[in-house]
Amino acid sequence: MQTPFSTGLVWLRRDLRLHDNPALALALRQCAQVHCVFVFDTHILNSLPRQDRRVEFIRESLVELDTTLREAAGQPGAGLIVVHGVAEQAIPALANTLKAQAVFAAKDYEPQALARDSAVRRALLAQGIQLAQVKDHVVFEEREVLTQAGKPYGVFTPYLRAWSAKLAETPPAEQLLARPCKALATRPEAYANEVPTLAELGFEPTNLSTLAIPTGESGGSRLLQDFLERIDRYDETRNFPAVKGPSYLGVHLRFGTVSIRQLVNHARRRVAKGSAGAQTWLSELVWRDFYVQILANFPQVASGAFKPEYDAISWEDGDRAQTLFAAWCEGRTGYPLVDAAMAQLNQTGYMHNRLRMVAGSFLVKHLGIDWRWGERYFAEKLNDFDLSANNGGWQWVSSSGCDAQPYFRIFNPTSQSEKFDAEGKFIKRYVPALKALGSKAIHAPWLAKPLELQAAGVTLGRDYPQPIVDHAAARAKTLLRYGVVKRAD
């Protein structure tokens, strides 16, 4: 079959897999030969800490992808081209060197990515090369799901209904790669090098392997299979951080080592059999689409509140704000569940979803810190950091976002702890200073009897901090702080 292009270049970004890869599938349909490239973009890398699990995760995933590309091609000369440089310059230069007539890539909806892709498109067009972009990391994008008035949704529940109805009409199809695939071309000698080491990229090893976080498409597949054995109870287990309830697929969704369509199809099949757990998980996948379309249609949320009146709130500032924020970041608030959540984040790059809400709400509504400070800290620490989901989550806890919790709803960290970590198992794992306390005292050590603290070897202020704020006083202050919003309603 004749193809429109003799040579195509697939620019992989957050789709590091072969199974159900729309950009690769389109290139293979339209090109006689296809090259694949990943760019370690220095515009992104230069702002990261030298030890960053995400860079190591990507690097390890690329090593596997390089191998699977060669296996899929049926020839050792094929494989992944890896470039370390500025994507806006590297992609047009590589396309020109390969004499490609088209570059294929999955869409990205983040503002910086849109600016980068626009610049690449202009540079390619100047060389007579097309940039073809396809939907990939969402099921429905941008303006595919709209209200009857033709506007984007700002409330989740009606969006969920519309999303589900559209899915029933057009269920997502997964695209398979035929093997061997002779269209996967041999790499030019100048680009036949191995995937760069962390040191060559200017980074240092992390504790990724010690944490046993599986990488690559195979790692995502193993996690998915493990979760499918537990998915039917997900609705019962998802809120308890000491229980193996989540899928742990967040980082794989972020970098595309699993396909969102594959996950949705698995969930739908279980829902059809009456699985309440699968239904709950599917709705959380829809939240992911919801936040992506919010970012795409309301890009101002990347810097300010979805509800503009919330930008009028006066947050803590000066030295006091810095002191409170540092205590939160370092897990020194005196509230065990919050401190355990922050320790989990700092040590592993992961935070349980329930704890993201508790810790986030505490920062904003107990300490009075601007939600954007927390958003930036999570962006630096989370392995699965995704701008749309992170922004949506932080605006939810601060009540400034779409379909957010009401401003007067303020999580009590002690009651949250008693409800979701009743025996203190999670707290004991990440706040070992409290491991000898009983299951009641561990949620609020400052209320424990002196003899109980003594028996547990805990001296407040030495072994574990006193609470940095009083819950009741903080709640009252927050209601006053949010008064400017109430007056604007």
pLDDT digits (tens, 9 = 90+) for 101-143: 999 999 999 999 999 999 999 999 999 999 999 999 999 999 9
DSSP alpha helix (H) spans, 204-352: 216-228, 234-237, 250-255, 260-272, 276-297, 318-329, 336-348
Which strands form 31-41's sheet, in the order they lie side by side?
80-85, 31-41, 5-12, 102-106, 130-134
The torsion angles phi and psi of 74, rounded to 5 degrees, stand at 75, 20
The pLDDT of residue 285 is 98
Catalytic pick from 71, 297, 315, 412?
315
Asked if residue 2 has pLDDT above 90, the reply is no
Dihedral sign, Cα of residue 143, residue 144, residue 147, residue 148: positive
Catalytic pick from 328, 371, 373, 396?
371
21 is catalytic: no
Residue with tokens 């990347």: 302
Give the span between the Cα atoms of 221 and 215, in whole angstroms. Answer: 10
Which of the four CATH numbers 3.40.50.150, 3.40.50.620, 3.20.20.140, 3.40.190.10 does domain 1-136 have?
Answer: 3.40.50.620
pLDDT tens per residue, range 77-103: 999 999 999 999 999 999 999 999 999
The pLDDT of residue 487 is 54
Catalytic pick from 141, 174, 284, 309?
284
The pLDDT of residue 404 is 73
Answer for the pair 175, 22: CB distance below 8 angstroms, yes or no: yes
- The closest of 488, 444, 438, 437 to 466, measured between CA atoms, is 444
Per-residue tokens: 476: 């009252």
CA atoms within 13 A on the CB side of 433: 18
Give the span between the Cα atoms of 69 and 192, in whole angstroms. Answer: 13
Q: For residue 413, what pLDDT band results from cuts at 50, 70 and 90? A: very high
315 is catalytic: yes
The pLDDT of residue 80 is 97
Average pLDDT, the chain: 96
Catalytic pick from 11, 163, 373, 394?
394
The pLDDT of residue 76 is 85
- The closest of 468, 467, 464 to 432, measured between CA atoms, is 464
284 is catalytic: yes
Asked if residue 489 has pLDDT above 50, the reply is no
Asked if residue 406 has pLDDT above 90, the reply is no
Which of the four CATH numbers 1.10.579.10, 1.20.120.420, 3.30.413.10, 1.20.1600.10 does domain 308-488 have?
Answer: 1.10.579.10
Maximum distance among all alpha carbons in the chain? 83
Answer for the pair 2, 244: CB distance below 8 angstroms, yes or no: no
Catalytic pick from 239, 265, 287, 446?
287
The residue-averaged pLDDT of 416-437 equals 98
The pLDDT of residue 164 is 98
Q: For residue 243, what pLDDT band results from cuts at 50, 70 and 90? A: very high
The pLDDT of residue 48 is 96
The residue-averaged pLDDT of 391-406 equals 91
346 is catalytic: no
Residue 76's alpha-carbon distances to 68, 71, 72, 246, in angstroms, are 10, 7, 10, 38
The DSSP H or E segment spanning 35 is strand 31-41
Asked if residue 1 has pLDDT above 80, the reply is no
The pLDDT of residue 179 is 86
Which fold is adopted by the domain 137-174+218-297? Answer: 1.25.40
Torsion of CA 203, 208, 209, 214, to 10 degrees: -120
Q: Tell me which amino acid residue 16 is.
A: L
pLDDT tens per residue, range 25-56: 999 999 999 999 999 999 999 999 999 999 99
Asked if residue 290 has pLDDT above 90, the reply is yes
Answer for the pair 384, 253: CB distance below 8 angstroms, yes or no: yes
Per-residue tokens: 17: 């897999």
Asked if residue 430 has pLDDT above 50, the reply is yes
pLDDT tens per residue, range 314-372: 999 999 999 999 999 999 999 999 999 999 999 999 999 999 999 999 999 999 999 99
**Total residues belonging to the chain:** 489
Cβ density class 454-473: b for 16+ within 10 Å, e for less: eebebeeeeebbebbbebee
DSSP assignment letter at 456: T
Residue ranges covered by each domain of the chain = 1-136, 137-174+218-297, 308-488
pLDDT tens per residue, range 136-180: 999 999 999 999 999 999 999 999 999 999 999 999 999 999 889
Answer for the pair 239, 285: CB distance below 8 angstroms, yes or no: no
Dihedral sign, Cα of residue 65, residue 69, residue 71, residue 76: negative
pLDDT tens per residue, range 249-267: 999 999 999 999 999 999 9
11 is catalytic: no
Give the span between the Cα atoms of 478 and 10, in whole angstroms. Answer: 50
By DSSP bridging, strand 5-12 and strand 102-106 are parallel
Catalytic pick from 96, 239, 346, 353?
353
163 is catalytic: no
